[in-house]
Structure 1
Amino acid sequence: NVVGESDTGVDTRTKRQLELSPSSDQNDAKQTKLSLSPELDTSEIHERILSRVNNTLANTNMNVGTEGGSILLQQIVPALVTAVSVAVGEAIDRHFKWRQETTDAQNLQLQQQLLGQLQKNCLLLRYENDRLEQYTRRETIRIVGMKEEEGENIEKKVLKVFADAGADVSAADISACHRTGKRPAGKRPVLVKFVNRKKKREVMTKKKSLKDMDKYKHVYLNDDLTLLRSRMHGVLKAATEKVEKVWVVDGKIYCTKKLPPWSPARQARSTRPGRFAG
């Protein structure tokens, strides 16, 4: 049987429940306050709920004694079905919205983790590339401040500098020797690559004697550093308030922290024998 037919009945308990149920006007008022998501189609939900209610009432073999009971069911049941379908639709809509927000938050967190890992890997690769590049320069020095002349024999001039420093270096000990960079003021740096590191270290050890000669007052012999290490060296040299000394050995940068004159650590440092200041 279907709700609304004259032969449908209802017992005393069912009548009491129906009397306590909200009226059709009240349900219509509540329905106007409910808003459904435009993406959610509740028509199928509405039809299923209505069918289930009708089947349940039909299977109970209830008899409505008066025509008023049938009319009451016709008014209440559709309103209840509509309210329930709207509530179910909103619940489903909220559930999908929650799932979407949860998924978006998880995806964002995963993307941030991947981005952080990629940045870390890029930084590690940059440092590793810098280390390998510096290793290829282990036999090379950079001479800064040598006056540049037209048609000069740069190798001969470099050998003269080494001889004045007291280093025993011949042309056979040099693999390559040339100026590098643009020509801004006639003093481009000179790159000198030795055949082996032994000769390079000998020159770097003897270079301190050039400071006492006026003609080499503005000539400097330095390790050929990578761009990253060269910038780091410049930053440390400029930090005079915090850094006392900066020097380079085989492409590695060292520095000492500036300490107050009364510091015991400073006094111990000044009396330490054999300290290389570069």
Structure 2
Amino acid sequence: MYYISASYREEIENLISKAVKKAVDDAIRSTTEFFNEKLTAMREVVEKRCETIGFLEHKVKTLEKETNHLEQYSRRSHLRINGMKVVRGEGHAVDYKQQVSNFVSHTLHDKGGVPISLNPEDIDAAHPLPSKNPNDIPTIIVRFHAREKRNKVIAARRQLKGKKITINEDLTSKNFKLLKELQKCEKFSSAWSWNGKIYAIK
């Protein structure tokens, strides 16, 4: 039987302790490096995906803007007349071109005070928009052959101020929503549209 002195036993314990500590430290370092590499790789993937998402979001916004512009451009010859009562003919038929022509010619004037001359032939199409309530006066959408005629009519819309009839541009839903938000915003004293573009002043 061998006798191990206390000092020798302490030295062995120290060696074992150092070996265990080194093994643990090496294992921790190795594990940390492994996970750091994984985290770095994952971070790179996330950053690339974020860049892709950012690019796609920008692309979607650009496409939405272009689509809205094209849709508004397609409506450049249109106007909407709200509150105009129509006279029905035989069989309850309505000649909306004639009705709009009569209304404009008898109600609106140019800057010189001369009545605006509008014939049914100046109108490409005129028809009411569907209404949830059949008793409501429908909005009439009008498409003009010439933008010059259309612009004369829209320029005279202020003459209807205080009346129950209004004339507005045929805006896209996005532009219409923006216009309404600006008109309700306390920061702006006035907001309007012209040629499909929205304007506001403080």
Q: TM-score range by the shorter chain?
A: 0.7 to 0.9
What is aligned with 1:256? Answer: 201
Name the SS of the counterpart of 1:23 in structure 2: helix
1:220 CA displacement: 0.6
Equivalent residues, number: 182
The corresponding residue for 1:59 is none
The answer (yes or no) to whether the contact 1:194–1:200 under 8 Å persists in 2 is: yes
Aligned AA (2:95): N
Structure 1 residue 175 corresponds to structure 2 residue 124: yes
In structure 2, C-alpha distance between the alignment counterparts of 1:131 and 1:194, rounded to whole Å = 20
> CA 1:168/1:22 → structure 2, altered by over 3 Å: closer, same or farther?
farther
Is the counterpart of residue 201 in structure 1 residue 134 in structure 2? Answer: no
Residues 26 and 202 of structure 1, relative CA distance in 2, 3 Å threshold: same
Q: Which amino acid aligns with 2:53?
A: L
Which residue does the alignment assign to 2:112? none
* Aligned counterparts of 2:165 and 2:60: Cα–Cα separation in 1: 37
| Deviation of the 1:26 alpha carbon | 5.3
Matched, 1:102 2:40: yes
> Larger C-alpha radius of gyration, 1 or 2?
1
**Could you state the TM-score of these two structures normalised by the residue count of structure 2?**
0.78
Match of 2:105 among 163, 171, 186: 163
Distance apart, 1:211 and its partner CA: 4.0
Q: Give the Cα–Cα distance (whole angstroms) in 2 for the partners of residues 247 and 94 of structure 1.
A: 62
Structure showing greater relative contact order (alpha-carbon pairs closer than 8 Å, 6 or more residues apart): 2
Q: For residue 49 of structure 1, what is the aligned residue in structure 2?
A: none
Are residue 186 (structure 1) and residue 136 (structure 2) matched? Answer: yes
CA–CA distance in 2 between the matches of 1:248 and 1:255? 9
CA distance in 2, matches of 1:26, 1:249: 88
Pairing 1:70-81 to 2, within 5 Å after superposition: none
Check conservation: 2:98, 2:119, Cα contact below 8 A: no
> 1:29 deviation in Å?
9.0
Does the Cα contact within 8 Å between 1:147 and 1:186 map onto a contact in 2?
no
Matching residue within 54, 63, 82 for 1:125: 63
Gaps of 5+ in 2: 1-7, 109-114
**Residue 225 (structure 1) aligns with:** 171
Query: How far apart are residue 206 of structure 1 and its match?
Result: 2.9
Report the Cα offset of residue 22 of structure 1: 5.4
* TM-score normalized with structure 1 length: 0.58
Structure 1 spans left out of the alignment, 5+ residues = 1-18, 35-82, 258-278
Greater than 6 Å deviation, 4+ residue runs: none
Work out the CA distance in 2 between the residues paired with 1:204 and 1:119.
37
CA distance in 1 between partners of 2:101 and 2:174 (Å) = 29
Query: Which residue in 1 is equivalent to 2:95?
Result: 153
Which secondary structure does the structure 2 equivalent of 1:187 belong to? coil
Q: Is the 8 A contact 2:83 2:137 kept in 1?
A: yes
Aligned with 1:147: secondary structure? coil
Q: CA RMSD in A?
A: 2.7
CA deviation string 1:16-49 (max 9, x = no partner): xxx8x95268527964xx7xxxxxxxxxxxxxxx
